[in-house]
Amino acid sequence: MSNYDITRIRSDFPILKREVNGKPLVYLDNGATTQKPKQVIDAIDHYYADMNSNVHRGVHYLSQISTDAFEVTRQKVKDFIHAAQLHEVIITSGTTHGINLIATCFGQAFIHEGDEIIISAMEHHSNIVPWQMLCDFKGAVLRVIPMDEHGELDQAAYANLFNERTKLVSFTYVSNALGTINPVKQMIATAHQHNVPVVLDAAQAVQHIKIDVQDLDVDFMVFSGHKMYGPTGVGVLYGKEALLNALPPYQGGGDMIKEVTFAKTTYNELPFKFEAGTPNIEAGICLAFAIDYINEIGVENIKAYEDELFDYAHSRLREIPNIRFIGTAEKRSSVISFLIEGTHPYDVGVILDKLGIAVRTGHHCAQPVMDQFGIPGTIRASLALYNTKEDIDALVSGLQRAANMLL
């Protein structure tokens, strides 16, 4: 990709210059969290040095500029995901918060004993456990879309899971453990044929794939700032206005109310109804800078670059003795999960760390996926917009070394 200025991009990320264990850092744990460009780091500094104040409250100057900056993020998010309306964007603390919010509020309003909720076999724990908690609480039933040996969801089985008790479907766009890109537009249409709303976990998708919530016709969508080059402690819940309005509030507190008396409290309108208490202000404000950063390069350009790197990584990783790829779906993004058979992922991870190479080893918060493949965990290399072929080469030689030592 000739117009993709990788040298400039890498120079935007100060941490990429550091060494780990005396070796240049090779950061391939982007599925867990991405590094931050100086544009975001500087914005955090700037917030505390020049703006710090609570939002949505004071009439004083600093409170106004903080509030305005916080609302700029909402606007940028709206444009980024192409939401129809600004107040359909709820600022959360992250994906986990967003899913728990929907599970609690939707559950309270619409889930009754015997109702059914559909999730998939490849979900992150944060898209499993909140639904299990809701099912326990309400006496509802969790149904699971099965997955085949490649890590693809069984679409025929999915369509067959629906019945008159089905109330909600929740699945991931991209699997954090396998890299599978699910055919979400089609899956959403299937749910809508049964008049069932869909929650989309886009935590591993927004930073890699252009998303248009109106085109997908998705009902709710959640993601985290820290996996898209933004700060930790901020995320987004998108919801269609009518659905959000139909839900009761989540937490009670400041900002989410219109009027409070001991006799009766009236709730604020969207989006504030779901934003109780002081938010993570600096993270909320600085998420806008991460979105700007992605937009300046262009999500499509990022995807094309990462796809090329992904193919390169696959072809090179085949050189490793005993390598077994976990997740071989036809459509995948950025996540490469594998094992060196005859070794434990943890031991390989320790050797890679000694060489300055950061990967994740373990179950990746997706134990049911590991159970289905009959393995305790994998080694996961996950790519971001600043990775290079040199990073992949370093990984491959580190794995060669690990294989020599451990096999």
Q: Which residues are catalytic?
A: 365
Report in angstroms how near the CB of residue 93 gets to ligand PLP at its nearest.
8
241 to 94, 109, 219: CA distances (angstroms): 20, 16, 9
Closer residue to ligand PLP (CB): 203 or 283: 203
The 245-284 contact track toward ligand PLP, x by CB under 6 A, reads: ----------------------------------------
| Buried residues in 266-284 as b, exposed as e (16+ CB within 10 A) | ebbebbbbbbbeebbbbbb
Of 95 and 387, which CB lies nearer to ligand PLP in the complex structure? 95
Confirm or reject binding of residue 380 to ligand PLP (CB under 6 A).
Answer: no
Work out whether 127 is an interface residue with ligand PLP (CB under 6 A). yes
Q: Considering beta carbons, is residue 166 or 180 the nearer one to ligand PLP? A: 180
- Residues 189-248 binding ligand PLP (CB under 6 A) are 201, 203-204, 224
- Of the pair 181, 399, the CB lying nearest ligand PLP is at 181
Reduced to 3 states (helix: H, G, I; strand: E, B; else coil), residue 143 is strand
Instruction: Give the C-alpha separation, 117 to 346, whole Å.
Output: 35
Nearer to ligand PLP, 171 or 305 (CB): 171
Q: Shortest Cβ distance from residue 22 to ligand PLP (Å)?
A: 30
- Alpha carbon of 153 to those of 171, 194, 275: distances in Å? 10, 19, 34
Stretch touching ligand PLP by CB under 6 A, among 9-17, 76-84, 123-131, 354-362: 123-131
In the complex with ligand PLP, which residue's Cβ is closer, 124 or 303?
124
Q: Residue 263, class by beta-carbon neighbours within 10 Å (0-12 exposed, 13-18 middle, 19+ buried)? A: exposed
DSSP run (H or E) holding 27: strand 26-27
Alpha helices by DSSP H, listed for 89-236, are 95-110, 129-138, 155-160, 184-193, 213-216
Give the residues across from 184 on adjacent strands: none
Nearest distance, CB of residue 193 and ligand PLP, angstroms? 25
Q: Check residue 126 for interaction with ligand PLP (CB under 6 A).
A: yes
Q: Taking a C-beta distance cutoff of 8 angstroms, is the pair 344, 11 a contact?
A: no
CB of 224 to ligand PLP, least distance (A): 3
CB of 233 to ligand PLP, least distance (A): 9
Three-class secondary structure of residue 126 per DSSP: helix
The answer to whether 363 and 370 are in contact (CB under 8 A) is: yes
Distances (CA, A) of 273 to 43, 109, 183, 237: 27, 15, 32, 13
Binding mask 80-99 for ligand PLP (x = CB under 6 A): --------------xxx---
What's the min distance (Å) between Cβ of 204 and ligand PLP?
A: 5
d(CA 407, CA 405): 6
Helix (H) or strand (E) holding 380: strand 378-382
H or E stretch at 23: strand 23-24
Query: Whole-angstrom Cα distance, residue 253 to residue 273?
Result: 10
Q: Kindly indicate which of the ranges 121-129, 294-302, 373-381, 386-394 contains the residues binding ligand PLP, using the contact rule CB under 6 A.
A: 121-129
Going by their DSSP bridges, the two strands 323-325 and 335-340 should be labelled as antiparallel
Of 23 and 125, which CB lies nearer to ligand PLP in the complex structure? 125
> C-beta of 173: minimal distance to ligand PLP in Å?
8
Measured from the CB atom, the residue of 204 and 388 that comes closer to ligand PLP is 204
For ligand PLP, how many residues bind (rule: CB under 6 A)? 12
Strands in 323-325's sheet, in edge-to-edge order, are: 323-325, 335-340, 378-382, 360-362
Instruction: Looking at residues 166 to 185 of the shown chain, list those that interact with ligand PLP (rule: CB under 6 A).
Output: 172, 176
DSSP 286-338: HHHHHHHHHHHH-HHHHHHHHHHHHHHHHHHHTTSTTEEES---SSB-SEEEE
The least CB distance from residue 192 to ligand PLP, in Å, is 22
**At 201, is the secondary structure helix, strand, or coil?**
strand
Contact set with ligand PLP (CB under 6 A): 94-96, 124, 126-127, 172, 176, 201, 203-204, 224
